[in-house]
Amino acid sequence: MNLTSPSQVKAWCIENDFHPNKTMGQNFLIDRNALVAIVDAGLEPVGGVASPRVLEIGPGLGVLTEELLSRGCDVVAIEKDPILAERLAGSLGNPERLSVVAGDALDFINHKSALPGDRPFDCMVSNLPYQSGTRILLELVLSRSIAAITALVQSEVADRLVAGEGSKTRGLAGVWAQLDYDVEIVRKVSASCFWPRPEIGSSVVRLVRHERNADFSEEERDVFHKITKKAFEHRRKQLGSIFRDMIQSTARAEELSNEDWKNLVKGLMGT
C-alpha cells in the first residue's frame, strides 16, 4: 500500500473494518512532502551516524516507519493500538531493522517496561497523538535520554515549546524543554495533510539537547521544576507575591528567561 495515498489508506480502513480512533489521536499522515520534511529534520542532527537507532512513538500504519527504514535506520516503534501494532511489521515485509513494541509509550519512557536492544537511541522521530503528545514529549525531555527529538504536534503545542521570555505563549512546557534542549519549529503542516483531517494545523518541532546547564544538579533541577510549576499556576501574579519572603521581584513567570530561573534557583539554594 502507498501510505501517502489518501484513497489507498481509506480503502485499507474500509476493507479491514478499521475506524481511526479519535481518543488515540489516529490522524494518519498522507502527504509525501510533509513526510520527507519531518524525516529529513529528524535525521539531520544524526547525520554522521551510520545506522541511527530511532525511536518512533505511534507508528500507526507505518508511513514514517517505512521512510525511516528506507534511509537505513534501525527503528523501535511503540504502538498503543494492538491492532496496528500486530500488523505493522508484516505489512512492511518484516524488516530486520524494525522492532515493534505494543503498549503505551509513557510506560517505556518511565521505565515501567523495557524496550528491546541496549544501544541508546540516536533520535526520536514521530507524528505524536494529539491528546497525549505534549505529555509524551515532556516526559522524554525530562528524562534527557535522547539527544534529538523531532515530532509533529499541534501548532499551539509547538508554539508553546519554542516561546521565549516575554512571549504570551511562554509556559511551563517551554521553560522545562528549553532547560536542556534548543527548540525550533521546522515547518508548519496543514490539517489537509492528515486523514482523518484534524480540526487544527500541526508543526514539526525539533529539540536538540544542549549542555549549557550540565552544571545544574538534580537537587537544583528539583527546585527549578517546583518553583516554575507554582509560578506558572499563578501566571498573572508577580513572583514576589507568590513566593513571599523567598523572592523579591515584581516580574511575572512568563517574563523570566531560563537563565533568570537558573540564577534564581542558585540564589535560593546558595549554590
Q: Can you give the binding site for ligand SAM, defined by CB under 6 A?
A: 24-29, 57-61, 63-64, 78-81, 84, 104-106, 127, 129, 132
Nearest to 102 by CA among 117, 83, 118: 83
CB of 61 to ligand SAM, least distance (A): 6
Q: What is the DSSP string of 243-268?
A: STTT-----BGGG--HHHHHHHHHHH
Q: Which is nearer to ligand SAM, 191 or 251 (CB)?
A: 191
- Report the Cα 123 to chain-centroid distance in Å: 11
Q: Which is nearer to ligand SAM, 45 or 129 (CB)?
A: 129
CB of 268 to ligand SAM, least distance (A): 36
Nearest to 107 by CA among 142, 148, 149, 136: 136
Q: Which is nearer to ligand SAM, 65 or 228 (CB)?
A: 65
CB of 140 to ligand SAM, least distance (A): 12
Cα(20)–Cα(26) distance, integer angstroms: 5
Task: Report the residue closest to ligand SAM, judged by CB.
Answer: 58
Nearest to 60 by CA among 18, 118, 111: 18
Q: Which is nearer to ligand SAM, 59 or 171 (CB)?
A: 59
Q: Which is nearer to ligand SAM, 57 or 173 (CB)?
A: 57
CB of 151 to ligand SAM, least distance (A): 10
Contacts of 103 (CB under 8 A, 6+ apart): 78, 79, 80, 85, 113
CB of 183 to ligand SAM, least distance (A): 20
